[in-house]
Amino acid sequence: MDVFRVEGNGPLEGEIRIGGSKNAALPILAASLLTKETVTLKNIPNLSDIRFMVEILEYLGAEVHNPELGTWEITAHRISHIAPYELVRKMRASVCLLGPLIARLKKAEVSIPGGCVIGPRPIDLHLKGIRKLNCEVEISNGYVTVDASKSRGGHVFLGGRSGSTVTGTANILMASVLTPGITRIESAACEPEIVDLCNLLVKMGAQIENIGSPELIVTGVSELKGCEHTVIPDRIEAGTFITAAAITKGHVKIQGIPHSFLGAFLDKLQEAALPMEISDDSITVLPYKGSLNPVDIITLPYPGFPTDLQAQMCALMSITEGLSIITERIYPNRFMHVPELQRMGADIAIEGPSAIIKGPCDFSGAPVMASDLRASAALILAGFASKGVTWVQRIYHLDRGYESFEQKLSSLGAKIERLSDTDLPNDLLEK
Ligand code: EPZ
């Protein structure tokens, strides 16, 4: 397995262009099953999660071509309705296959995705929505089986205890676009990734009103056609690189990201007094001396502060003078990065859903373990601000969601090297 060797090397400097959004690309890849015609997708990031989704599409019978890096051509002439456990278990987002299979084949059999370290990943809201489309839903032997032979438009409220559901909204959208009648999705997710999915579906011929709002109206059509679509940039990759620049007091221009995708995040950084130049499609982090201001953050559904940037902010606030409180309202257990940051010198106490961070700490390099996609990024960011060497193990978590992470950061002057775990110092080698 690969590891990263990270060494503090002063401020990051330079320019970086943001890649395509993983969390837009995954449901959009699933949406290609909604038509027999070819769907050409561009700006798809080169990630293990993308390869998992493509593997499942091919298993279901779709013809897939990858004519150049970032471009995928999918033609789902004939597809089967069963998505097996051995494929689905690799990635939760494969739950997004339910919607297209229900819409296209009027039946589906999809293994229930497992949980993960950030918390239980229920799909009760997905199933509630599917039932509201007059579908029969049965759960047995770890599979969701759906009979949509009598499906028709309906009214579904998708709000749960943590707000709406992103992939749940994607599933009901994709299920309803070919379902006869009108479907009203109330408390729909408003994330940019859902807007991008809606824009793709409309290009395919779907009828969707109030795109971007929490109340979507879908009028079912009889069939959808192929199209070409370029996926939006990844706002979480952008936020991760902005935080990397801030934690090293660097000077970095992050290009190709609409600032509107990061409203709450940028607002918090301005409250922390991080100097930035913000233009329509780029954000430049400017150097600063001394410390930022501590901030209080609560993660919320979009347009609130994104949970996927919570771990990165824990690292940044650890070197910030004062007391910061970061409360996780989406995944209350999403603090696996905290014990690892503490090993590097952070002073963080967990009180229920909140991390209470006393700064500044002097980060020192240490051997740490990645646990989930965004926690891995937070540990590497802390490593950039540390004295000495940080060894980050299990970086396959990071490879799920960040394309060419070490290359992009090395181009900004970061000292980060991908090695094999056999290169670990003897005292770290798994006994
Ligand atoms: C999406 O996950 C993202 N993944 C996650 O990004 C992101 O953290 C999350 O949205 C929140 O923004 C993809 O888009 C592939 P949810 P999703 O359904 O759709 C509860 C990353 O790092 N809930 O919006 O699975 C759930 O427990 C990943 O890129 C129910 O109760 O998240 C959570 O508390 C991690 N019942 C909240 O809603 C349900 O049926 C939000 O979950 C569904 C969800």
- Give pLDDT tens digits for 174-226: 999 999 999 999 999 999 999 999 999 999 999 999 999 999 999 999 999 99
**Which of 181, 205, 230 corresponds to the end of one domain?**
230
248, 185: one domain = no
Question: What's the pLDDT score for residue 274?
Answer: 98
Q: Which amino acid makes up residue 164? A: S
Q: Are residues 192 and 331 in the same domain?
A: no
Average pLDDT of the residues of the chain: 96
* Nearest residue by C-alpha to atom 33 in ligand 1: 330
Q: What is the mean pLDDT of residues 67-92?
A: 93
Q: What DSSP assignment string belongs to 23-53? A: HHHHHHHHHGGG-SSEEEEES----HHHHHH
Q: Using a 6 Å CB cutoff, which residues line ligand 1? A: 23, 26, 92-93, 121-126, 160, 162, 165-168, 307-308, 330-331, 373-374, 401
pLDDT in tens, 143-183: 999 999 999 999 999 999 999 999 999 999 999 999 999 99
Q: Check whether residue 163 and residue 244 sit in a common domain.
A: no
Residue 162 and residue 274 share a domain: no
pLDDT at 430 over 70: no
Q: Probe ligand 1: pick from 22, 23, 397, max atoms within 8 Å of CB?
A: 23
Residue 193 is part of which domain span? 22-230
Tell me the pLDDT tens digit for each residue of 350-370: 999 999 999 999 999 999 999
My answer on whether 242 and 197 are in the same domain is no
Please give the pLDDT value at position 235: 98
Which atom of ligand 1 is nearest to 401's Cα?
29
Q: Are 114 and 92 in contact (CB under 8 A)?
A: yes
Does 290 lie in the same domain as 246?
yes
Phi-psi category of residue 404: left, alpha or beta, with phi > 0 → left and psi -120 to 50 → alpha: left
**Domain match, 73 and 102 both:** yes
* Shortest-distance atom of ligand 1 to CA 120: 27
Could you tell me which residue, 117 or 40, shows the higher pLDDT?
Answer: 40
Atom of ligand 1 nearest to the CA of 49: 15
Is the domain of 54 the same as that of 126?
Answer: yes
- Is residue 310 within 8 Å of 297, Cβ to Cβ? yes
Angle 192-203/166-176 helices, nearest 10 degrees? 10
Last residue of a domain, one of 179, 213, 230: 230
In ligand 1, which atom is closest to the CA atom of 119? Answer: 27
Cα–Cα distance for residue pair 204/246, rounded to 1 Å: 41
Which pLDDT does position 398 carry in this prediction? 94
Of 46, 60, 307, which is closest to residue 189 (Cα–Cα)? 307
- In angstroms, what is the span from residue 168 Cα to ligand 1's centroid? 8
Domain end: 177, 211, 230, which one? 230
* Ligand 1, atom 1, residue with closest C-alpha: 166
CATH number at residue 393: 3.65.10.10
Q: Cα separation of 29 and 75, whole Å?
A: 11
For 255-287, the pLDDT digits (tens) are 999 999 999 999 999 999 999 999 999 999 999
pLDDT of 136 above 60? yes
DSSP 201: H
Quote the pLDDT of residue 59: 96
Residue 238 has what pLDDT? 98
Q: Tokens 């397995």, residue?
A: 1
The alpha carbon of 23 and the centre of ligand 1 are apart by a number of angstroms equal to 10
Same domain? For 66 and 111 the reply is yes
> What is the spatial distance between Cα 34 and Cα 216, in angstroms, rounded to a whole number?
19
Percent pLDDT > 90 in the chain is: 91
Residue of higher predicted confidence among 92 and 187: 187
Per-residue pLDDT, 172: 98
Same domain membership, residue 346 and residue 203:
no
Banded pLDDT at 117 (limits 50, 70, 90) = confident
DSSP E strands: which ranges in 267-346? 276-279, 282-285, 296-298, 322-327
Residue 155 has a pLDDT of: 98
Separation CA 393–CA 368 (nearest Å): 6
Residue 316 CA to ligand 1 center (angstroms) comes to 24
Indicate the SS3 state at residue 349. Answer: strand
Mean pLDDT value of segment 85-91: 86
**Average pLDDT of 342-352?**
97
pLDDT for residue 63? 98
User: Considering its fold, how many domains does the chain have in total?
Assistant: 2
Query: DSSP character for 387?
Result: B
Q: Which candidate in 116, 198, 227, 314 is catalytic? A: 116
Is 205 buried (19+), middle (13-18) or exposed (0-12) by CB count in 10 A?
middle
Residues 14 and 37 in one domain: no
Which residue reads 């990263």 in tokens? 4
Q: What is the 3-state secondary structure (H, E, C) of 131-189?
A: HCCCCEEEEECCEEEEECCCCCCCEEECCEECECCHHHHHHHHHHHCCCCCEEEEECCC
Atom 25 of ligand 1, residue of closest alpha carbon? 167
Say what the pTM is: 0.97
Which position has the token pair 């996926």? Answer: 231
The tens digit of pLDDT for each residue in 371-418 reads 889 999 999 999 999 999 999 999 999 999 999 999 999 999 999 999
DSSP class of residue 81 equals S
Residue that has been written with the tokens 């690292």 in this structure: 315
What is the distance between the alpha carbons of residues 285 and 142, in angstroms, rounded to a whole number?
47
Say how many Å lie between the CA of residue 255 and the centre of ligand 1.
27
* Amino acid 92: pLDDT: 86
Residue 400: other Cβ atoms inside 10 A: 19
> Do 80 and 207 fall within a single domain?
yes
Residues 166-185 as b/e (b if ≥16 CB within 10 A, e otherwise) read: bbbbbbbbbbbbbbeebbbb
Does the annotation mark 227 as catalytic? no
pLDDT at residue number 333: 87
